[in-house]
Amino acid sequence: MHIGFLGGTGMEARGLALRWAAAGASVILGSRSLEMAAASAESCNEILGASLIRGMSNREMLAASEIILLTVPYGQAVDAIESCRLLLTHNHIIVDVTVPMVFREGHAEFVEQSGLSNAEIIAGHLPDGVPLVTAFKTIPAAILTDLQKTLDCDVFVCGDCETARQKVIQAAAAIPSLRPLDGGPLKNARTLELMTVLAAELNRRYKKKGARYRIVGI
């Protein structure tokens, strides 16, 4: 399993990279800058105590990875896809983790974009035949990056390509104490984005950082 990160220097990327690498997956952090990618990988490897994660330019990362986590800020996702559009093939699966959320006076707010989820907007910019799957939107970076913390939650996986969705479910299942759930078609991505805003609101009200979801009864 070869997992790459398009935008591998942010907290969500580093958190997922740490969790996957610790579970034995091949992980590559990509960045427009090779130096930034290498530095991000190096600091992750220090936490892991072993050289498990590699840093590469986005171009090299895309050539070496099948599952590509799109881990840039939500407003930069379309540009990130457009900048490497010609390098994307049918063998890639793009996994969108972005959430269109801003903070105003301490309150988390969902950013309306003509009734569409950020996932749907990104999907519209992918070449034909490159599937988009959405996952990890509801998993807080603050928890992912702290390897002492048990995740103990569910990850909702949505996408219109059944094969791609199942591959991401399989990849997510490699991370300990994280249960992947099949959330159905991509149109459900909006629900996940709104759930993340609600979790941020709960964090604020209850003075926590790691509110996340578990489904009871399944």
Q: How many CB atoms lie within 10 A of CB 63?
A: 13
**CA-based nearest residue to 122, from 56, 194, 72:** 72
Query: How far apart are the C-alpha atoms of 126 and 78, rounded to whole Å?
Result: 9
What residues contact 118, with CB distance under 8 A and at least 6 apart? Answer: 74, 77, 96, 98, 99, 100, 189, 193
- The residue ranges that bind a second copy (CB under 8 A) are 115, 140, 143, 152-153, 156, 181-184, 188, 190-192, 194-195, 197-199, 201-203, 205-206, 208-218
CB of 107 to a second copy, least distance (A): 8
Question: Cα 188 vs. chain centroid, distance in angstroms?
Answer: 16
**Both tokens of residue 75?**
């407003």
Query: How far apart are the C-alpha atoms of 191 and 212, rounded to whole Å?
Result: 14
Query: How far apart are the C-alpha atoms of 135 and 41, rounded to whole Å?
Result: 22
CB of 108 to a second copy, least distance (A): 9
**CA-based nearest residue to 11, from 35, 47, 64:** 47
Specify the residue, 27 or 135, whose C-beta has the smaller distance to a second copy.
135
Specify the residue, 49 or 115, whose C-beta has the smaller distance to a second copy.
115
Specify the residue, 90 or 107, whose C-beta has the smaller distance to a second copy.
107
Specify the residue, 97 or 139, whose C-beta has the smaller distance to a second copy.
139
CB of 91 to a second copy, least distance (A): 27
CB of 74 to a second copy, least distance (A): 17
Specify the residue, 50 or 202, whose C-beta has the smaller distance to a second copy.
202
Specify the residue, 31 or 117, whose C-beta has the smaller distance to a second copy.
117
CB of 206 to a second copy, least distance (A): 5
CB of 203 to a second copy, least distance (A): 8
